[in-house]
Structure 1
Amino acid sequence: MTVRVLVVDDHPLYREGLVTAISTMPEKEVVGEAADGAEAVRLADELVPDVVVMDLHMPVMNGVEATREVTGRHPAVAVLVLTMLENDESVFAAIRAGARGYLLKGADRAEIGRALDGVAHGEVVFSSAIAGRVISYFAAGRAGSGVAPFPELTDREREVLDLVARGLTNAAIARQLVVTDKTVRNHVSNVFAKLHVAGRAEAVARARDAGLGH
């Protein structure tokens, strides 16, 4: 069976190299390429590939959101994340969004080829560096053990972010925490700076991906 692949990456040179590499693999066919998440969703609708190779950090729509859209619309399409991001937050956000595999961009051609075959046949595939952390995460029961996401935030900043993700305004958060509006504004500004987000909508998306705001 030929595995039909859609390649998604916003760096033209890397995407071109990846397309070339996959095209030379036996029983692999690149059926399309996209430079951002929104284009990936559109092409997945149009082409319905077997596998989408998905970068995470992209403009317009990031890879986690695109993965959620693609897997929601096409449960049979496997998403294989191929990214430079190896932090726990990115890994588990991608898994929660429906990704079946997670490789780092240092992966060689053979590893990518094996991963494409694996996810196309319903397997879950992680690069060795990621696999150990995933196993440890679930072995330790971290998902339910209260280990907080976003370790760079203070407890109060995480609490504020959770309330932001629940849709509360700064004034409502101030009333709930019994602090001044200015204090909340300062906390929100610190959260945005530490998470490197441009505004409230992006912060909410990041928070919900990490399990906050529910």
Structure 2
Amino acid sequence: MAIRVLVADDHPMWREAVEKDLIEAGFEVVGTASDGRAALERTRATRPDVLVLDLHLPLLSGAEVVRGLKDAQVETRVLILSASGAAQDVVEVMKEGAVGYLVKSTGREEFLQAVAATSRGEAVFTPEVAGLVLGEYGRLARHDSREPAPELTAREKDVLRFVATGMSYRDIAETLGISHRTVQNHVQNTLGKLQLNNRVQLARYAVAQGLAQDDSVPGAAAGPSSGPAPTRAPR
């Protein structure tokens, strides 16, 4: 079945272009919104798989929309698509529960891949914001009280280290020489053992346990690589 998406952006030309790209790629766009209040109301009404959400919207900000969805227990996953890569903006909305964060200079194909990944609960970030997110997780982890870590297999720990850098399942599979499905199975098993819900929480756990600092893990940034700017003019 097609992934169901709602698009919220206050710039009509950008919003319509994003909607067109999604439809052409086979996604089902269930609606659009031009302000934060409409984004919250329409997402609550339609329950899409993914909400593609601008950060700076009239009436309600992107962070307020994400908080409202969380309070209403709406399970739609939120992918931020914003012109801002400012640390305060990124950290605020990720704390509220957004799954991923892209800047508007991201290329079309990278964006479409990120929407699909978000629908699966995978954390996706453009490189310029990935370090901010992992850094914040590390800061929060130092103040968290944690119970002893459940026992993970050596391979689960290997996969977890790469998840902490934001690598895709496909890249992890290629790096470790295993199948994409095997990586998925390891992630699901690890989520179950740790009683976590998604890759965002898993990445935070890995940072908290010091796994993300392992020397065997490359320092590559997370999420889709920053490609050429889309033909649509960013805000």
TM over 0.5: yes
CA contact (8 A) 1:7 1:33 kept: yes
Name the structure 2 match of 1:88: 87
Residues 1:123 and 2:122 are matched in the alignment: yes
Residues 1:135 and 2:134 are matched in the alignment: yes
Shift of 1:83: 0.3
Name the structure 1 match of 2:54: 55
Further displaced range: 126-135 or 49-58 = 126-135
Name the structure 1 match of 2:25: 25
Higher relative CO (CA 8 A, sep ≥ 6), structure 1 or 2?
2
Runs of 4+ in 1 over 3 A off after TM superposition: 136-139, 142-145
Q: In 2, Cα distance between the equivalents of 1:85 and 1:143?
A: 25
Shift of 1:124: 1.2
What TM-score do the two structures reach when normalised by structure 1? 0.63
CA contact (8 A) 2:5 2:51 kept: yes
Q: In 1, Cα distance between the equivalents of 2:136 and 2:62?
A: 22
CA contact (8 A) 2:66 2:78 kept: yes
Q: How far does the alpha carbon of each residue in 1:144-171 deviate from its partner, in whole angstroms, 9 at most, with x for none?
A: 58xxxxxxxxxxxxxxxxxxxxxxxxxx
Name the structure 1 match of 2:65: 66
Name the structure 2 match of 1:112: 111
Q: In 2, Cα distance between the equivalents of 1:93 and 1:143?
A: 16
Shift of 1:96: 1.1
CA contact (8 A) 2:44 2:74 kept: no
CA contact (8 A) 2:47 2:74 kept: no
Distance 1:144 1:45, change over 3 A: same
Of all paired residues, the percent bearing the same amino acid is: 36
Q: In 2, Cα distance between the equivalents of 1:71 and 1:55?
A: 17
Structure 2: stretches of 5+ with no match in the other structure = 144-235
What TM-score do the two structures reach when normalised by structure 2? 0.57
Aligned to 2:98, the other structure's residue is in SS state: coil
Further displaced range: 64-73 or 76-85 = 64-73
Shift of 1:132: 2.4
Aligned to 1:79, the other structure's residue is in SS state: strand
Name the structure 1 match of 2:2: 2
Q: Tell me how many residue pairs correspond in the alignment.
A: 143
Q: In 2, Cα distance between the equivalents of 1:74 and 1:30?
A: 21
CA contact (8 A) 2:91 2:132 kept: no
Name the structure 1 match of 2:183: none
CA contact (8 A) 2:91 2:136 kept: no
Name the structure 2 match of 1:46: 45
Q: Which amino acid aligns with 1:97?
A: E
Shift of 1:143: 6.9
